[in-house]
Structures are given as C-alpha cells and as structure tokens.
Amino acid sequence: MRALELGELGFAAVIVLTYVAALGVRRRSRREAVEVDTVPEASVAAVLAAIALAAIMFGLVWARFLVDFGVGLLVVALARLVLEVRAEREARQ
Amino acid sequence: MSTTSTTAPDAVAPARIPGWLGAAISTDHKRIAVNLGACAFGFFVLGGLFALLMRAQLAQPSSQLLSDQAYNELFSMHGSTMIYLFVTPMAVALALYLVPLQIGAIRSSAPRIALSGFWTWLCGGLIMQSGWLTAGGAGRDGWFAYTPLSNGSNTPGPGMDMWVVGVILAALGLMAIAAAVVATVVRRRAPGMTLLRMPVFSWTALVSVLMVVGSFPVLVIAMVLLYIDRHGGHIFTGFSGAIDYQDLFWFFGHPVVYVMFFPYLGAAAEAIAVGARKRWFGYLPFVASIIAFGALSMSVWAHHMFTTGGITNQYFAFTSTALVVPAGIEYFDMVATLIGGAIVLRTSMLFALAFFLQFLIGGLSGIFVASPVLDYHAEDSYLVVGHFHYTLFAGSVFGLFAGVYHWFPKLTGALLRESLGKLQLGLMVVGTNLTFFPMFFLGQDGMPRRISRYPAHPGWRTLNVLETVGAGVLALGVLVFVINVVVSLRAREPAGDDPWLGHTLEWATSSPPPPHNFERPLPAIRSYAPLLDLREHS
C-alpha cells in the first residue's frame, strides 16, 4: 500500500514538473519577435473526419457496412489532414 | 509578440471555393458559426412544429388527434430538438462568431476542430431525427431518457438507439466548438485585451463554453453507458442504477441550462448598454457574478432529483437558492445601466427588456421549485413546465432575438426592418405569456406533465385552449421574423460598419467582416468598451 502511495506521489510530481517545464518552453517561444501564423481557409479533412465518426456511430445502430465505410473514410480524412498540416508547415517556412 | 498571417498553399488546402461547397468546408469561424446558427434555426422550426402538434392535441381533454406513443415521441423530440439542437448550439454559434471579433482576434484557434465539431453536431441532429423513419418511431423517453424507462426492454427499437447516438454526436460536436472558443480567448486576444477588458458578451460566452467543456463529457459518458445498458450491459440496474443515471445526466443537465442562458444574457446586456448609450454598469461585479453563477450551477444538479429520495436535499436546496445572489447582481446592473441613459427603444433593446422581465418570472418560480418542500408538490406538474419555459423560451429566446436584431447588420451589412421587428416582439410577448403563464395555474391545480389526455376538471380545458392559441400566436411571431429576414436581405437597407454606435471591437470592422476580421488597425484597448472610450476621448 505504501509503495503504491509513493508511486502515486512520484507520478503526480512528474506531471507537475512536466507541466512547469512545458510552460517554461512556451514562455521562451513567446519571446520571438514575429510568429508566422498560417490560416487554413478550408479543410476537407475536418469535414470527412466528422462524417466518418457519424457513419461509424450510425452504423452501430443501423447497418454494419456503415461502420466499415466510416473507418475507411476516417483513414482518408487523417491522411488528408496530414497533407494539409504539412502544407501549412511549408507555408510557414 | 506580433503575428503575421498567410494561407496554406492551394495544392492541399483548397483555395476559396465559392458557393455552398465553399461554405460547407470553410474554416472561417464566422462561416462555421453562421452555418451552425442557420441549421439550429431550422431545428427550432422543427421543434416548434412538434410543440404545435402537442398543443393541438391538448386543446381538448380527450382528443384523439395523436396516439399516446406519438405524443410521447413528440414531447421527447420537442425537448431534445430544442435543447441539443437549437438553444445550446445557437448559444455556441453566437460565441464562435462574436468572441474572436470582440477580443480583436484575426481568426479563431483550432478552426478545423470547430469545423469538424459543426459537422459532427449536424450529423448527430440528423441521426436523432431519423428515428422518425423507423418502424418503432423516434426516441420517446423525454430529453433525459431516464432508466429503467429507456432500457432495451422498456423502449426497444432502433429509434431510441438513434436518439442516444444522436445525442452523443451532438454533444461531441458542441464540445469541440466550445474548446475552440476557449482556446481563442486564451491564445488570440489582441494586444491590450486583458481578460478584464473583455466585453460583457465575451465573458458570458467564455463561462458558457467552459461549462460545455466541463459538463458535456459527462453526458457523453452517460449516453455511452445507456447504449451499452440497452444492449445487454445491465449497467443501470435497480434503484441505485436509476439514481446513478440521473446523477450523471443532471451533472450535464443543469449546467446546460446556464449554457442556454449566459450568452443570451450577454447579448441582452450588450443591446441594453448600446441602446442606453452608456457603459454597462458594474462590469467587475458582473464578471464575478457570472463566474460565481457558472461555478454554482455545476453544484446544483440534483435539485432535479429532490423527490427521488436518493440525494441530500438540504445541500442542493442551499446551492440552488444561492443562485439568486449572482442573478440579483445581474438585474441590478441592468437597471443601473438604464438609469440616466439616453435610451433608444430599438427592437433589440425591447427584446432585451422583455428578456429580463420575462426571465424574472422564470427565475422567481425557480425559487419555489428550489425548495424541496414545495418541489414535492410541484414535481412532474405543469408548474415545472411553466417555470422552465419562462427561463428557456421567455428568457433565452428573447435574448437571442435581442442579439439577432443587434448583430444582424454586422453579419450581413443590412438592417432588419424595425416595424416588422416590433410586430414580431408584440406577437411573441403575447404568445409567450398566453402559452406559458396558464401552466402555473394548471400545475398548482395538479395537472401532470407528459400526458396526452387529461380529465375534464373545471377550468383545465379553458386554460389549455388559451395555451394552444398562444402557441399559434408565437408561431406567427416566428413567421414574421422569417419574413423580416427575407425582406431585409432582398431589399437591403445598408447598415454601415457601426449603425448603433457600438462599444466593442466588432463594430470597428466592416459589415460583414472580412475573412481575417480586421483590415484596419484596432483602436487602443483600455477598457471593455474601446469604441466608447475612443468617442469619449475625441
């Protein structure tokens, strides 16, 4: 029991320290003079992901093939999202 | 830190696509918010039709217009449509459109998440309504789906499953949009826009979306567990199972009442301050009261369960009654803003005043049902129906229309017709009070809610007929609004950038705002009313 409590305490300490470190990194990055911000104007991936999730959920109730369709669509949406994010990163550079 | 913006290359992120497709996949927070608001209004009309059918049934004590099951489906889908698909998403839509503009942000944070949230919510709404097409009919266990009524044995069939899945998707979608609004406030405020310089509406919207993020996950959990329970999971079994479900549901169900109130309160407050040509009185106490209101509202959920015997009534009666303190501050601020103001009685101002006056009836009747002793008498009677319709319809929907008349010129660049607006207001005030005020008398006299036929007690028929007539007048009021929008968009009266001499930053940009919100430099931000500061200094 004592070992478990010590483990929990250690885990909590790690979480707090990680959070503090993340805050420190963020503050340092804020000191940059100019941050280039890319703004996506449209996102097919976001729409496809939502429709995929809905197809999976609806498929649970209505028809199994919709679950399979939804999973496939989700893969397409995620692939598309990767391309969109990569394009944004290139635009930033 | 300064920020420059660019757009992602056309090769992957599509260039601006005109028309419906472009609007459907746009990540502009204004476009997403308009889409969300328009779809939510469509669901409002649908939910209103359900209400009209119910009122037609109740015009006669033993009407045979609807079967018992059809009536159960109608009141369940009316409540579900209004709460999950109209009032809450409309509040989130207002927040998504206006908060980035009011805090001087060039865009919202996490635009893809917001866009995905809109589509998830819309699919959820359509799935919920598609239950009507199934053989067993749509969900019929109220907007709360209490167990054991909603388990697989008592409510079999795919219609109820579609309701559960629809609620899950709608809640997930709204959570995503709410998270985007929170992130926008945290990360994208303009230089000088500290938290305590955010406009009144933005504060009400922020607290509202924080409550969405805090309480909606519990609804999703409750619905997932209910789905498993309905398919042989045996999760909510026995007395404790029923109480557990109610605890989970109302931990979402009460905060959502304030999600459906705060942004409309903020909209009415903005309309009153601008209409009175005065700064909103008592900004800091107002902000503190909204935060206290939000915190308290997360601790009152079980006042919906006083009569179950499964909770500590004293605690929840205390926290529920304590809500009158922040509410009192808000009313005090409203009255103090009006005193000494150069009041212009535009439609937005009149709707805002009606919001405050009618919500007062809902609030005061809430004090009665916050007392367990009185609640034992009022529980499951029409008194409760009257109470929550005075808060949600006579309150929130009037606040919404105050906001619509106030910000429509900003959204479209065109003014709504004032004469039609005042006609709509008159019809809606008459209709609202004719529909919902008799419910207090019926409830006090013992008429139960959720019944399709009632005994011919003296006076019950007359009061029910009055309510049915009132519902028809309300529908006329909504029709006048639709006509007003169509007429105003077809024969446009240009509004200009700032037709009301507004106080906040959204009035410092063009109408409608450009894709990146502001093309001119922002004025210096020294308070929650920077444009009023500018006018006073010049």
Residues in A touching B158 (Cβ below 8 Å): 61-62
Per-residue pLDDT tens for B221-243? Answer: 999 999 999 998 889 999 999 99
CB within 8 Å: B27 and A60? no
Which residue of B116, B186, B228, B516 is the best one to mutate when testing the A interface, meaning the one whose CB has the most A CBs within 10 A? B116
pTM: 0.91
Helix (H) / strand (E) containing B3:
strand B2-7
Nearest CA in chain B to A48: B116
What span, in angstroms and rounded, lies between the C-alpha atoms of B281 and B330?
10
What span, in angstroms and rounded, lies between the C-alpha atoms of B88 and B261?
9
Query: What is the percent of chain B with per-residue pLDDT over 70, rounded to a whole number?
Result: 97
A30 vs B131, more confident: B131
Q: How many residues are recorded in chain B?
A: 538
Ranges under pLDDT 70 in chain A: 1-5, 24-39
Cβ pair B293, B327 in contact under 8 A: yes
DSSP B496: -
Provide the shortest C-alpha distance from residue A25 to chain B (in Å). 15
Provide the shortest C-alpha distance from residue A76 to chain B (in Å). 14
User: Least CB-CB distance to A44: which of B25, B107, B118?
Assistant: B25
H helices present in B392-459, as ranges: 398-412, 418-444
| pLDDT at position B463 | 97
Which DSSP string do the residues of A22-50 spell out, in sequence order?
HHHHHHHHHTSSEEEEEE-SB-HHHHHHH
Provide the shortest C-alpha distance from residue A55 to chain B (in Å). 9
Helix (H) / strand (E) containing B122:
helix B111-130
**How would residue B16 be classed by pLDDT, with cut points 50, 70 and 90?**
low
Provide the shortest C-alpha distance from residue A2 to chain B (in Å). 32
Residues in B touching A28 (Cβ below 8 Å): none
| pLDDT at position A25 | 65
* Arithmetic mean of pLDDT, B354-360: 96
Closest-CA residue to B362 (of B402, B317, B336, B397): B397
What value of ipTM does the predicted structure carry?
Answer: 0.90
Taking residue A22's Cβ as centre, other Cβ atoms within 10 Å add up to: 10
For residue B2, the SS3 value is: strand
Per-residue pLDDT tens for B74-103? Answer: 999 999 999 999 999 999 999 999 999 999
